[in-house]
């Protein structure tokens, strides 16, 4: 399940920028709008899906239905010839795909609990197959020559439909909140928002949103950043320029290692220090991109990709486990949806929209041929500065006393 879940995303998430800028030559602001579709969909769809899975429908069935519908929508993307239509089609696809991330977590946690397994210990080695799927997708798209082609969406479409059918064979995950007497407020699943009553959780969700914005920046611009070196003769024949997605896949290889380290770090250092480590890693991730190049500076790009594993995992996966420890059984699916709403919803929307506008306004140079070039050094320095500010604020405002027993009891 995890392998195909992220194979779908890996088929186009990092390479859509190359298709957008290298093939279509559409603008950064329009591209920011496309990436913001993840944020818009995540504002409400993961929460809605969580409510349905908590109250009315088996999580694995809802999961399969969304992937079938998403696969159909992805199949139409290569037919689109203008950015406005692309926006609406990608928004529809994201409305089906984004809730499946939280649903996959809910299905996994439910299955592990039913098998009397420890989520903190046993989930990361399972989730690592998602990262492997992402890597395989990147290599598939890159080696097949689809990085700048619309064919990448056909790859994602076929995989999504296959996963949709496979989902109906997954372990049963019935609604845990079904049949209990509740108020209308509870019946709609809005009680997951009760987590905001805790000042600590409110602050946690705010910083999850700010870090979610950082996550989308390298997803959106990393691949096309390397493609742009093709315009410089000294770099044109380098491996990083010919196969950018393969170089970027080092990030996902790194993920597989850091996922396995999460149980140790969470139990040893607690959520605050782990999240803070993630934020500092984002500063380094962007900073190394700012000074790297495909030749003598290739080591910086590779080191940046290695650091990405820590930056992503220590925030995304550790955050979902932390939310699990802070929510009661009847709202757990809704709580995961809420976490996704803050990170891939508000965070992704703001990060994508604002970065696209800022890049167009401050870091874009129009050439005589009408094709834009970008000041990548300035772009990555700006992103690095943003991550540093978030890290400092998080260290000052998020108060949390680490309790190793809280993580040890999450599986119960």
Please indicate, yes or no, if residue 181 is contained in any of the structural domains. Answer: no
pLDDT digits 0-9 by tens, 40-91: 887 777 767 777 776 788 888 899 999 999 999 999 999 998 888 999 999 9
At residue 411 the predicted structure's pLDDT band, cuts being 50, 70 and 90, is very low
Once rounded to an integer, what is the mean pLDDT over residues 369-376? Answer: 74
pLDDT digits 0-9 by tens, 10-40: 999 888 888 888 788 777 778 878 878 887 8
Count the residues in the chain.
412
Residues 55, 275: Cα–Cα separation, whole Å: 32
Beta strands in 56-103 (DSSP E): none
Please indicate, yes or no, if residue 228 is contained in any of the structural domains. Answer: yes
CA distances from 349 to 34, 37, 226, 354 (A): 10, 7, 24, 8
pLDDT digits 0-9 by tens, 341-359: 788 778 878 888 888 888 8
- Are 326 and 195 a contacting pair, CB within 8 Å? yes
Q: Which two tokens mark 145?
A: 């020559």
CATH of the domain at 119: 1.20.1250.20
What range does the domain containing 397 cover? 2-171+194-408
The pLDDT score that the predictor gives to residue 365 is 77
Please indicate, yes or no, if residue 182 is contained in any of the structural domains. Answer: no
The conformation of residue 373, written as its DSSP 8-state character, comes to E
Residues 198, 187: Cα–Cα separation, whole Å: 21
Number of domains the chain is built from: 1
Please indicate, yes or no, if residue 185 is contained in any of the structural domains. Answer: no
Average pLDDT, the chain: 83
The pLDDT score that the predictor gives to residue 412 is 44
Please indicate, yes or no, if residue 98 is contained in any of the structural domains. Answer: yes
Please indicate, yes or no, if residue 337 is contained in any of the structural domains. Answer: yes
pLDDT digits 0-9 by tens, 302-341: 999 999 989 988 888 888 888 877 777 767 766 776 787 7
Least Cα distance to 279 among 363, 210, 178, 200 occurs for 210
Please indicate, yes or no, if residue 186 is contained in any of the structural domains. Answer: no
Please indicate, yes or no, if residue 36 is contained in any of the structural domains. Answer: yes
- Coil, strand or helix at 374: strand
**Of 193-197, 374-378, 401-405, the least confident:** 401-405
pTM as predicted:
0.75
| Helix residue ranges, H only, 292-347 | 298-326, 332-340
């Amino acid at each position: 399940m995890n392998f195909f879940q992220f194979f779908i995303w890996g088929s186009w998430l990092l390479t859509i920028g190359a298709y957008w800028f290298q093939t279509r030559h559409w603008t950064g602001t329009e591209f920011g709008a496309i990436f913001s579709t993840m944020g818009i969909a995540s504002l409400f769809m993961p929460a809605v899906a969580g409510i349905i899975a908590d109250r009315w429908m088996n999580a694995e069935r809802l999961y399969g239905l969304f992937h079938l519908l998403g696969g159909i929508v992805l199949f139409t993307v290569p037919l689109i010839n203008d950015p406005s239509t692309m926006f609406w089609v990608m928004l529809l696809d994201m409305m089906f795909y984004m809730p499946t991330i939280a649903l996959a977590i809910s299905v996994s946690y439910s299955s592990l609990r039913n098998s009397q397994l420890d989520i903190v210990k046993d989930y990361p080695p399972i989730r690592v197959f998602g990262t492997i799927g992402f890597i395989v997708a990147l290599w598939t798209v890159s080696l097949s020559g689809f990085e700048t082609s619309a064919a990448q969406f056909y790859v994602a479409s076929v995989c999504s439909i296959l996963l949709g059918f496979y989902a109906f064979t997954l372990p049963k995950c019935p609604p845990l909140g079904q049949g209990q007497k509740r108020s209308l407020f509870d019946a709609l699943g809005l009680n997951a928002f009760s987590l905001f009553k805790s000042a600590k959780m409110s602050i946690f969700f705010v910083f999850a949103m700010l870090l979610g914005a950082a996550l989308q920046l390298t997803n959106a611009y990393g691949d096309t950043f390397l493609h742009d070196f093709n315009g410089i003769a000294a770099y044109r024949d380098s491996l990083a320029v010919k196969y950018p997605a393969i170089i970027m896949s080092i990030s996902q290889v790194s993920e597989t290692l850091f996922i396995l380290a999460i149980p140790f770090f969470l139990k040893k250092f607690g959520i605050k220090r782990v999240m803070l480590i993630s934020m500092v890693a984002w500063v380094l991730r962007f900073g190394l991109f700012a000074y790297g190049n495909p030749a003598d500076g290739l080591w910086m790009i590779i080191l940046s990709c290695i650091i990405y594993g820590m930056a992503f995992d220590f925030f995304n996966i550790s955050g979902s486990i932390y939310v699990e420890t802070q929510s009661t059984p009847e709202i757990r699916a809704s709580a995961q949806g809420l976490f996704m709403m803050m990170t891939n919803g508000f965070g992704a929307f703001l990060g994508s929209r604002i970065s696209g506008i800022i890049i167009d306004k401050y870091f874009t140079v129009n050439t005589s041929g009408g094709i834009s070039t970008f000041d990548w050094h300035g772009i990555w320095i700006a992103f690095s500065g943003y991550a540093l500010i978030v890290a400092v604020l998080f260290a000052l405002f998020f108060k949390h006393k680490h309790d190793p027993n809280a993580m040890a009891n999450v599986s119960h």
